[in-house]
Amino acid sequence: MEAVQRRRVTVRGVVQGVGFRPYVYTRATGLGLAGHVTNTPEGVVAEVEGAPDAVSRFCERLAADAPPLAVVDAVDHWEVPVAGGAGFTIIASRTGGPARTLVSPDVATCADCLAELADPADRRHRHPFITCTHCGPRFTIVTGLPYDRAHTTMAAFPMCPDCAREYEDPADRRFHAQPVACPACGPRLRLLTGRPPRESSGADPVAEARRLLAAGAILAVKGLGGYHLACDATHPGAVAELRRRKARGDKPFALMARDLADVERFAHLGPEERQLLAGGVRPIVLLRRRVSADGPDGVAPRCPDLGVMLPYTPVHHLLLGLPGDPPGPRLLVMTSGN
């Protein structure tokens, strides 16, 4: 009779909200191992059972092959009594005890989600809250640990049957993605205008918001972790009014551009700047202004540098326009509204 071994594995670090449980599931089933994996306050805990060499291979490269958003601080494993059984499952998270794990930061919308966002044939076409296992909100939506949908602000939005099928499918990009949503079940975007503010009667809040921005309006845009005050960065009157309202003097405003090609029109870009701007963190990057640029003069008076970022949420991408959208602002002032 072939020898069988069972090991309990605890993984600590940024391992919740990054697709780690689906990764463990795929790795274990690929090696023919039985067992289970769960989130706990101390991290991700798995038990794997099977041929000793398969169990060893499972443990050996667990950290090295981890999902790209994971940061593994420690992997501990030890032998436990064989329990028997077949198949590998993701079980309900275990609560209780002190929280010793970390939650992933929010991550910019990935290329796959952006492709779906722009695809008229996709059921998430123009969905302003599109996300998957590899991108989207994490830290901002957490209300408790371990990281499960019930411990996020998405708990108020039950998954529709289509989203539930994706969530349960190990072959799907949204397998156990806690913020998963679609137009049928997820949050809804609203535009409030007037005094007192009332919900706009327009059919498309984004199209109306883009029209207002192009006309020189200032909008408060709810994003991840707070609000931005936004206006068309190339509209001198809008920039001046925003500066007056914020009592900003001549201090520079941060800019959000649609893509790297638009940034290159008014600022110098090298390989390092490109990598920073287009990465998953999407920081504001200081760029040297082009001397002869026909750019946003009023956003940083007499300053040789401009603070620029690229869109990092679906709402940002929609406000700046998808391919085929009517003309609108391609460069926005995005300054703190908190």
Please name each of the domains of the chain with its CATH number.
Answer: 5-102 (3.30.70.100), 105-187 (3.90.870.30), 192-336 (3.90.870.10)
Strand boundaries in the chain, DSSP class E? 5-16, 34-40, 43-50, 71-80, 88-90, 102-103, 192-193, 198-199, 219-222, 227-232, 255-257, 285-288, 305-309, 331-336
| pLDDT tens per residue across span 217-273 | 999 999 888 899 999 999 999 999 999 999 999 999 999 999 999 999 999 999 999
Query: What is residue 260's predicted lDDT score, i.e. its pLDDT?
Result: 97
Q: What percent of the chain has pLDDT over 70?
A: 97
| pLDDT tens per residue across span 144-170 | 888 889 999 999 999 999 999 999 998
Q: How is 199-264 classified by DSSP, letter by letter?
A: E---S-HHHHHHHHHHTT--EEEE-SSSEEEEEETT-HHHHHHHHHHTT-TTPPPPEEESSHHHHH
237: left (phi over 0), alpha (psi -120 to 50) or beta: alpha
What is the rounded CA–CA span in Å between residue 230 and residue 299? 12
Q: Taking residues 292-308, what's their average pLDDT?
A: 85
Whole-model pTM: value is 0.87
* Band (17; pLDDT cuts 50, 70, 90): confident
Query: What is residue 293's predicted lDDT score, i.e. its pLDDT?
Result: 60
**What is the end-to-end Cα distance of the chain in Å, rounded?**
66
Q: Which of 185-194, 220-229, 311-320 has the highest mean pLDDT?
A: 311-320
Query: What is residue 297's predicted lDDT score, i.e. its pLDDT?
Result: 78
| Antiparallel, parallel or unpaired: β 71-80 and 5-16 | antiparallel
Cα angle at 314 between 172 and 230, to 5 degrees? 165
